[in-house]
Structure 1
């Protein structure tokens, strides 16, 4: 259908989500909040039917609320193959009519909320000129997550060097004088003649009105609108950006592997609807007596989940069952605790989980060289991931070096807070190193002391990864090698580099580290076997590592790239798009903590 645009669940979670602008055949649209986008569908039946039963996401957020994650269902699952499931809003509302207007024949820009058609030529959207998208490409954003139209009236009249007193223009349209650069694009008031250029508008800051268009009502066929009085208070400054800028909305996601301890019957049972809360109440009053515990649950739970708990207690014993519950319900567990668990599970090698969603084969030993220590490569034959998007942040240009606050996208329904997510199935390749071997290789590098220092800009970066991990030179070494491997493995595995994701590990006592490169996709069947076949082919592995090292030695931007040095104001050393930076879908560290010189430098 012309009014529909298809999205994969993984796209929605990893790239888009509430507050993002998508480009469609009908022009740019903003994805509303979960509640506004799903409309009447947002409720118990849809949420519970599509819930991802994994309590770990909630334990990481640990904000005192009941956290739950659901997959946005496909149209086929909902039985709505010809109807849009998630409604979007028009944004921005300002448009440009390219027809010549007035004696000088210039285009005009106009406010689509006030004028359905061009106010001068009366042509709708100016489409007679062959322009598919008449929407203006400029918007404003502030670091507090707000998004709005450019205040063209304020910009033109306040920044103009031509001062003509008070203007009675309603600020609903302006003359657009095109140019080749921002400094030669002028916007002029058709009434008083005041004008300014886009360069001045870009450099200026405007008072933020606290608008979040994703929270506004969906109005079919019309731009969304909420009165200023309903906006949030914000003391920030809004900066002009282009609506397709990658820094306009950066998603905040959590991805966890389903390792063996979380891929068994007891975990599935405890994650059933309402089970954890009922078990908690039962343990509080009857934790010392199994029969009293079961009698309490029998009175307060539905029969099916109760029978599941009863069976687990028979199989795992009451004490083991209680210990597993306390492990899941530990208020002090952190994201890093789960990372340490993942590393240990991957390092065991040659194992398969109870439910079969985690399968690792026998490792292949690879000999080191001048730049690499000896290491092991494990084929990860099956892997299951759970990913949730918890929020986003906006990064317009600012002199403020601190990270902007994260905008939470969760929506409340009854007593729970819901986030969008997806389950991925796929394959991977895992590389394991001893940290002492890595440090032996890099301690003599000129880049090492700068990374060893803890006083740098990365201290101000919001991340769930602790600073003693990301600031560790061995982590930077692993992360740098990981990016180079993504590019070289893509040539032999059948996957594009953008589809390969990474996870870099250091263990809890900082004695071991590793790199997991993996591909997952929603559905029962994930992966084509390309990464596993690479992991089992020692001659091919040697060839891939040789290519990865070549990519670190030579960069088309050298000598400019290689001369970049890590300092307290930089998150990277020698790293650029030609040699190390990869797709934002591949790197969970936003292309930070990279340096060719710590691997290949002097």
Structure 2
């Protein structure tokens, strides 16, 4: 009895933990995922690894998408916790950075040395609010550490052991630059933070990457990291870039039969692995209750189990090092085929329904468009695979920098599922191949391709020779990507959805030239029919003509059209926020690899535009 009471007391104490804040579930894989820094009131925290998250898969928190599970090598996905605040079962965080300063007495030291009262962030000496360090150091491999204030002040000089060394942080206020931020030591040394953000500033001090991973706790350092640490602002976007992967649920995995099987698959597959006879497995299927109120038989369920076993035993579509160009990977190829062919029929409980337009069958698709399909139902699972720091992941895919989300044995990843609708269309392959041989689009795509390869070589980690680094950028990719952008902008005016609610999904290879524009939300608001209506041939002809007309002229012209380099890392040509760029949530590649000239041509060469040459 005493032991039980002790446990109860401990549980009651845990329940009384106060939450420090709240974020939406979707933000836990896009903005505040594992390893990210989050400011709450007057403190700064880092989101802890997955091994500290509550396993809620047994209470309805598990998500399944067999193709994506197979690609990422996990048994299931899990919704981020969404417990009531007093449960204590939310996402765990750790204080980081631990260096704080007092704005009144200017003392700069670790938070614990301020003797702040429990639950507060105030200086024990002057009782004024404390301020977390504005600066941290990170490397491209995802490691993160405190800014080395002590080493910065003493600049490679051996500190006098006979003197006391206490740091203070001062702001002269003379300028807004880092020159006005001065760190002083009680030994008499002082230094401003000017130059701290230089690419080689830490290396010049002899400071190498510590390999620290504070989101995973103490003792998880990765010693010997060769990357150079860089100074970052604590709230900088460069401090955390998520690496998310997604997949559409397509037949047979979108069928209601597979949905019923998800929860019971592990147990039934285990029985088969243990050599249980088929008739006994059929009885197990009946005893699960999954056949209740369904039209399926136990034999159909068993066949579905073997289908999934075949998927699991097959080679993984892409390894991390070979993932390469995402619009052309195996997952996209499978989706492209299902979107192109459509569904002959769909049950009420299926997650995928794709049909050709029914109305205006006498009206052909717009010039240059080969096929249009209306995706009346779709489900997308978006999972967080990893993250990087300092430099964003390569927008074309294939980046091998992936920080760990956990220590130990975890067989799941955090994910969310979204439902919606969309329009899928493909370009006329015959016209496309003719256009791809024209000098205009080849030259313009070549400029972006060359700059992208320079960027890839600079980021290369030695896993392949520099002369083998190749960019996947092509005229076809620029065309499909820019076309998706102008249609999203156009449809946002006609469909009732803002541009930020629409997304693109590109399918680009020698055999694929397709675009899926869809809306996908975590509730039913993504399936109101406004986007599907845009796919009717007559309406699509009107909206495409209007979108091309808008793209032919930009309020920033002529500089926009004549630009030879724009966007992040100069990976755009004729593209700006006045004509082509979208909210970041809508674009797969953070608004790079865009050029509206490949759509409408240039004043000097109209035939550079695909839709000019296809008339």
SS of the residue aligned with 2:132?
Answer: coil
CA 1:294–1:196 in structure 2 vs 1: closer, same or farther (change >3 Å)?
farther
Shift of 1:251: 0.9
Residue 406 of structure 1 pairs with residue 390 of structure 2: no
SS of the residue aligned with 1:207?
Answer: coil
1:168-221 deviations in whole A, cap 9, x for unaligned? 4445433333343435323131424433333311111242222212112xxxxx
CA 1:58–1:305 in structure 2 vs 1: closer, same or farther (change >3 Å)?
farther
Partners of 1:252 and 1:393 within 8 A in 2 = yes
- Cα separation, 2, equivalents of 1:545 and 1:138: 50
Residue 141 of structure 1 pairs with residue 143 of structure 2: no
Partners of 1:109 and 1:175 within 8 A in 2 = no
Find the counterpart in structure 1 of residue 70 from structure 2: 59
Find the counterpart in structure 2 of residue 131 from structure 1: none
- Cα separation, 1, equivalents of 2:356 and 2:272: 40
SS of the residue aligned with 2:147?
Answer: coil
SS of the residue aligned with 2:229?
Answer: strand
Residue 201 of structure 1 pairs with residue 196 of structure 2: yes
Residue 232 of structure 1 pairs with residue 222 of structure 2: yes
Q: What is the TM-score normalised by the length of structure 2?
A: 0.75
Residue 475 of structure 1 pairs with residue 469 of structure 2: no
Find the counterpart in structure 1 of residue 215 from structure 2: 214
Find the counterpart in structure 2 of residue 219 from structure 1: none
SS of the residue aligned with 1:431?
Answer: strand
SS of the residue aligned with 2:299?
Answer: helix
Find the counterpart in structure 2 of residue 532 from structure 1: 532
- Cα separation, 2, equivalents of 1:489 and 1:550: 13
Once structures 1 and 2 are overlaid, which stretch shifts more, 548-557 or 136-145?
Answer: 548-557
- Cα separation, 1, equivalents of 2:583 and 2:484: 13
Shift of 1:241: 0.8
Shift of 1:122: 1.5
Partners of 1:479 and 1:594 within 8 A in 2 = yes
Find the counterpart in structure 1 of residue 502 from structure 2: 500
SS of the residue aligned with 2:339?
Answer: helix
Matches within 5 A, 1:146-157: 146-157=143-154
Shift of 1:388: 1.1
1:440-492 deviations in whole A, cap 9, x for unaligned? 34542534146369773476689xxxx99943321221012212323332233
Shift of 1:240: 0.9
Q: Which residue of the other structure, out of 171, 176, 183, is the alignment partner of 1:176?
A: 171
- Cα separation, 1, equivalents of 2:161 and 2:486: 59
Find the counterpart in structure 2 of residue 111 from structure 1: 110
Partners of 1:360 and 1:380 within 8 A in 2 = yes
CA 1:531–1:296 in structure 2 vs 1: closer, same or farther (change >3 Å)?
closer
Q: What is the TM-score normalised by the length of structure 1?
A: 0.77
Partners of 1:32 and 1:89 within 8 A in 2 = yes
SS of the residue aligned with 1:175?
Answer: strand
SS of the residue aligned with 2:238?
Answer: coil
CA 1:397–1:278 in structure 2 vs 1: closer, same or farther (change >3 Å)?
closer
Shift of 1:381: 2.0
Matches within 5 A, 1:404-483: 405-409=401-405, 417-449=411-443, 451=445, 456-457=453-454, 470-483=472-485
Q: Which residue of the other structure, out of 2, 10, 13, is the alignment partner of 2:26?
A: 10
CA 1:230–1:360 in structure 2 vs 1: closer, same or farther (change >3 Å)?
closer
Residue 331 of structure 1 pairs with residue 315 of structure 2: yes
CA RMSD, Structure 1 to Structure 2 (Å)? 4.1
Shift of 1:532: 2.4
Once structures 1 and 2 are overlaid, which stretch shifts more, 441-450 or 308-317?
Answer: 308-317
- Cα separation, 2, equivalents of 1:528 and 1:306: 30
- Cα separation, 2, equivalents of 1:321 and 1:153: 60
Once structures 1 and 2 are overlaid, which stretch shifts more, 451-460 or 174-183?
Answer: 451-460
Matches within 5 A, 1:251-266: 251-266=242-257
- Cα separation, 2, equivalents of 1:597 and 1:380: 29
CA 1:324–1:174 in structure 2 vs 1: closer, same or farther (change >3 Å)?
closer
1:314-337 deviations in whole A, cap 9, x for unaligned? 34896x874564145312434722
CA 1:158–1:442 in structure 2 vs 1: closer, same or farther (change >3 Å)?
same
- Cα separation, 2, equivalents of 1:367 and 1:389: 37
Partners of 1:352 and 1:358 within 8 A in 2 = no
Shift of 1:152: 1.0
1:113-141 deviations in whole A, cap 9, x for unaligned? 32245769623315xxxxxxx33332211
Shift of 1:392: 0.7
- Cα separation, 2, equivalents of 1:116 and 1:313: 65
CA 1:329–1:397 in structure 2 vs 1: closer, same or farther (change >3 Å)?
closer
Residue 122 of structure 1 pairs with residue 138 of structure 2: no
CA 1:83–1:571 in structure 2 vs 1: closer, same or farther (change >3 Å)?
same
Matches within 5 A, 1:63-82: 66-75=74-83
Partners of 1:156 and 1:195 within 8 A in 2 = yes
Matches within 5 A, 1:212-361: 212-216=213-217, 226=218, 231-233=221-223, 234-268=225-259, 271=262, 272-275=264-267, 277-278=269-270, 281=273, 292-295=277-280, 303-304=287-288, 314-315=299-300, 322=306, 325-334=309-318, 336-349=329-342, 351-354=344-347, 355-361=349-355
Structure 1: gaps spanning 5 or more residues: 102-106, 127-133, 217-225, 287-291
SS of the residue aligned with 2:513?
Answer: strand
1:214-239 deviations in whole A, cap 9, x for unaligned? 112xxxxxxxxx4xx65331343221
Residue 550 of structure 1 pairs with residue 550 of structure 2: yes
Shift of 1:4: 4.5
- Cα separation, 2, equivalents of 1:171 and 1:50: 49
Partners of 1:479 and 1:504 within 8 A in 2 = yes
1:15-59 deviations in whole A, cap 9, x for unaligned? 3211111233344322111232x3xxx24x545631113322231
- Cα separation, 1, equivalents of 2:305 and 2:87: 47
- Cα separation, 1, equivalents of 2:575 and 2:383: 29
Structure 2: gaps spanning 5 or more residues: 1-16, 117-121, 324-328, 461-468, 606-615
Residue 378 of structure 1 pairs with residue 373 of structure 2: yes
CA 1:159–1:179 in structure 2 vs 1: closer, same or farther (change >3 Å)?
farther
- Cα separation, 1, equivalents of 2:286 and 2:49: 33
Find the counterpart in structure 2 of residue 191 from structure 1: 186
Partners of 1:156 and 1:187 within 8 A in 2 = no
CA 1:15–1:483 in structure 2 vs 1: closer, same or farther (change >3 Å)?
farther
Partners of 1:94 and 1:111 within 8 A in 2 = yes
